[in-house]
Structure 1
């Protein structure tokens, strides 16, 4: 408990300091950053090309729950298996692709891999809709969520989550993972030539930490990222969640289902809100106790990120104040390319909100300019 309180106090201090130093006024009108003619042409082709047939393949990654980041937190240092799905064009997942970009989709606290692959509502199924435009994505349950269970939620933390994400990235490059729905001796998972991390909420913090600490990804898409600009409501919810962790190892995000919905949504359909609430996951308390320290560290180390960065915000996000183009460029000063956009009327859960198609279009245009790292 002493470690948990120390981590929280350090996180609050670091978050306050970095917010004061790095936060700047948002632009009057958000815009995307400069792009080359080649990238613009490729983006146009990506968003207008005929839809591809999509395949879903179950995969598993062996990882070690170890914290190798600078974040102050403890993990059990034991081996675990993360379960997920590759979602991509059928031709890509059934053959031997050449240059393959894999988008790794990192979910928030309280959600899960389902957030990116809500197949019951095809119009907001982020992974499948990207696959129809030629992209391959990995949707994976972080340790402690759904198909990647962890008995003791205090046995991991966000520094370890970022380290395990790094291990997943390396396994994608090497092909050192497996299909769990294998269809023959020659059925091997593809190697990635470049990986782009997409993170939402706390998942954005995990992705940003991975990119800053390990420098092995080709791009970074941050949705509703809490770095620098969390609202007072967001801090209240985390404090409340930490209190509910006393004596336990898991805690719900949002005190009630209604609060969970209010934190994530502003314009999503009622069906999407019901489906999301039914899939609401408890959060490992080790993640809860380390969130403020992780956000502070991610903010402090944002200048180390060299890969292109896309920052997406919702104009009605209850948890995060928007970070405009000027603020994003200031934060990611070493990045090869920085773009920012705010979606008016949207809440935190951008891929599931009413403007989901616009979010995906912005992401596809950004991806068109991402180049391989290998």
Structure 2
């Protein structure tokens, strides 16, 4: 049973949501691959094998890892968690030499609403983020957060922003303590001395809230602006909220599957929202991977924005902002960084890049800029 504050957050949006045409519902929305160029399973397998060969040839380690987290909320954003224990799955990708260092650093990446871990691991040469950062000397932890991909998937009406931030902070502690599992490998776990948080879109908002715990050594905010939300974002937000509200009810329980929706309806809208000038090979690989998001993650964003405006001046760790000039969802990166009034901030603006800054034109500008900033931490 949700707390009254959670219900109030939903009801506060009803008036606006009602004014937005209902363009989808959970049962009838076009699938994510509608109209998209298809890639066969065989082609995807071949691309994954090619990635594995490139990593091995470059002495880059790529380990499947698991973390045990508890869905609790000790963040500054109020929302009701399940208090259940879940498994978060992902990959640790790094040069062998970095993992052997005395005081290694790792960056923990949080994906956006319409993607999961694949965003950081797309099997297209030059666009596999974890590979490109490893080639530049950096370790990356990419994950499916709870509710996405290979990680545990409770009912989406029970996964809120504040709890996702808490679980992110738990993973930071696990990385420092070496309290995680390496899967299908005899490799030993590594204890990291420095952990940087990074996120895209909603993943960036979660990273911001996790940084408020004070346990991260740096923060990278990509494609998120509390005061720079565009009309397209607001239209898609409230349309998706309407979709989620239509399926909500008092019988929703954490263990019951359901409570997930698409932010964009169909492949065309998905591409228009997230890309601007992407390589056709990237579009063919990424478009069919569009992901549903947990409904309560979106609902709790409204309260999360209030938290950001109130609490982000308390962040003192260095902050990097990364924004594409053609991002259809968020703009005004300088204004977002100004919220971090007590932190050292730096802005990278990527010309001709859309919301998916790492999958659009000239990804090397993004990878080089991020790698240089991480090296200075």
Which TM-score bucket, shorter chain as reference? Answer: 0.7 to 0.9
Q: 1:334 to 1:354 in 2, by over 3 A?
A: same
Identify which of 109, 112, 124 aligns with 1:108.
Answer: 112
Deviations 1:339-372 (A, max 9, x none): 01221211010011112110111111211221xx
Q: 2:91 — aligned with what?
A: 85
Q: 1:273 — aligned with what?
A: 283
Q: What is the alpha-carbon distance in structure 2 between the residues aligned to residue 89 and residue 52 of structure 1?
A: 8
Aligned length: 323
Q: 1:200 — aligned with what?
A: 200
- Equivalences for 1:206-217 in 2 at 5 Å? 206-212=206-212, 214-217=213-216
Q: What is the alpha-carbon distance in structure 2 between the residues aligned to residue 143 and residue 226 of structure 1?
A: 23
- Equivalences for 1:45-124 in 2 at 5 Å? 52-93=58-99, 96-118=100-122, 120-124=123-127
Q: What is the alpha-carbon distance in structure 2 between the residues aligned to residue 180 and residue 192 of structure 1?
A: 18
State the TM-score, normalized to the length of structure 1.
0.82
What's the CA shift for 1:250?
A: 0.5
Q: 2:345 — aligned with what?
A: 338
Q: What is the alpha-carbon distance in structure 1 between the residues aligned to residue 310 and residue 227 of structure 2?
A: 9
Unaligned runs of 5+ in 2: 15-56, 249-258
Q: What is the alpha-carbon distance in structure 2 between the residues aligned to residue 284 and residue 203 of structure 1?
A: 13
Asked if 1:358 corresponds to 2:361, the answer is: no
What's the CA shift for 1:252?
A: 0.8
Q: 1:315 to 1:307 in 2, by over 3 A?
A: same
Identify which of 170, 180, 183 aligns with 1:180.
Answer: 183
Q: What is the alpha-carbon distance in structure 1 between the residues aligned to residue 13 and residue 224 of structure 2?
A: 16
Asked if 2 retains the 8 angstrom alpha-carbon contact of 1:103 and 1:138, the reply is yes
Deviations 1:35-74 (A, max 9, x none): xxxxxxxxxxxxxxxx952121000000001111121321
Tell me which of the two structures has the higher relative contact order, counting C-alpha pairs closer than 8 angstroms and 6 or more residues apart: 1
State the TM-score, normalized to the length of structure 2.
0.81
3-state SS of 1:62 partner: strand
Asked if 2 retains the 8 angstrom alpha-carbon contact of 1:226 and 1:295, the reply is no
Q: What is the alpha-carbon distance in structure 2 between the residues aligned to residue 182 and residue 70 of structure 1?
A: 38
Q: What is the alpha-carbon distance in structure 2 between the residues aligned to residue 281 and residue 329 of structure 1?
A: 28
Unaligned runs of 5+ in 1: 13-50
Q: 1:101 to 1:233 in 2, by over 3 A?
A: same
3-state SS of 1:124 partner: coil
Q: 1:44 — aligned with what?
A: none
Asked if 1:169 corresponds to 2:168, the answer is: no
What's the CA shift for 1:161?
A: 0.5
Asked if 1 retains the 8 angstrom alpha-carbon contact of 2:88 and 2:151, the reply is yes
Q: What is the alpha-carbon distance in structure 1 between the residues aligned to residue 236 and residue 83 of structure 2?
A: 29
Deviations 1:104-134 (A, max 9, x none): 011000100110111x202111111100111
Structure 1 segments of 4+ aligned residues over 6 angstroms from their partners: none
Asked if 2 retains the 8 angstrom alpha-carbon contact of 1:11 and 1:296, the reply is no
Q: 2:140 — aligned with what?
A: 137
Asked if 1 retains the 8 angstrom alpha-carbon contact of 2:6 and 2:80, the reply is no
Deviations 1:218-273 (A, max 9, x none): 11111101322111210111111111112150101212221111111001112212
What's the CA shift for 1:193?
A: 0.4
Q: What is the alpha-carbon distance in structure 2 between the residues aligned to residue 109 and residue 195 of structure 1?
A: 23
What's the CA shift for 1:8?
A: 4.1
Q: 1:11 to 1:206 in 2, by over 3 A?
A: farther
